[in-house]
Structure 1
C-alpha cells in the first residue's frame, strides 16, 4: 500500500476561482502534488488538502 505525505493549503475568500486554480496547478506541476480533498467553508474560503506519494529507496543487497 502506498504511503502519502499531506499538506493543507488555505485559500482566502477574496481569491478568485481562476487564481485558486493557478495556485493548485503550480503545486501539482512543480511539487508533484495531487488533490486529496477540497472543503468550501461557510465564509467562502477554501481549505485544500494535497497529497503526494512517498517513494522509499530499497537498499541494495549485493
Structure 2
C-alpha cells in the first residue's frame, strides 16, 4: 500500500480460474467493507487479474483488502 496525495492505493491479485462474477463479488465486498474503489483492472494472458484499489486517505481504522 502506498499513499499518494489524498489517495491510498492497494494492489490486489485475483488468481486465474476465478470467474468474472466471483471477481466482481470480491471487488464489491472490498468496496462495501473497506471503502475501496477500483482504480485499474488488468487481465493477463494466463487468466490472472491484477486490480489496483484506491480510497481517500484517512484514519486507518478501515481494513486493508484481503489478498
TM-score bin (small chain) = 0.7 to 0.9
Aligned partner of 2:17 in structure 1 is: 14
Greater RCO structure (CA 8 Å; 6+ sep): 1
The gaps in structure 1 that reach 5 residues or longer are 57-62
When normalised by structure 1's length, the TM-score is 0.81
State yes or no: 1:55 paired with 2:32. Answer: no
Structure 1 vs Structure 2 CA RMSD: 1.4
User: Shift of residue 13 of structure 1?
Assistant: 0.8
Structure 1 or 2, whichever has the larger Rg, is 1
The number of residues matched between the two structures is 55
Aligned partner of 1:28 in structure 2 is: 31
User: Shift of residue 50 of structure 1?
Assistant: 0.2
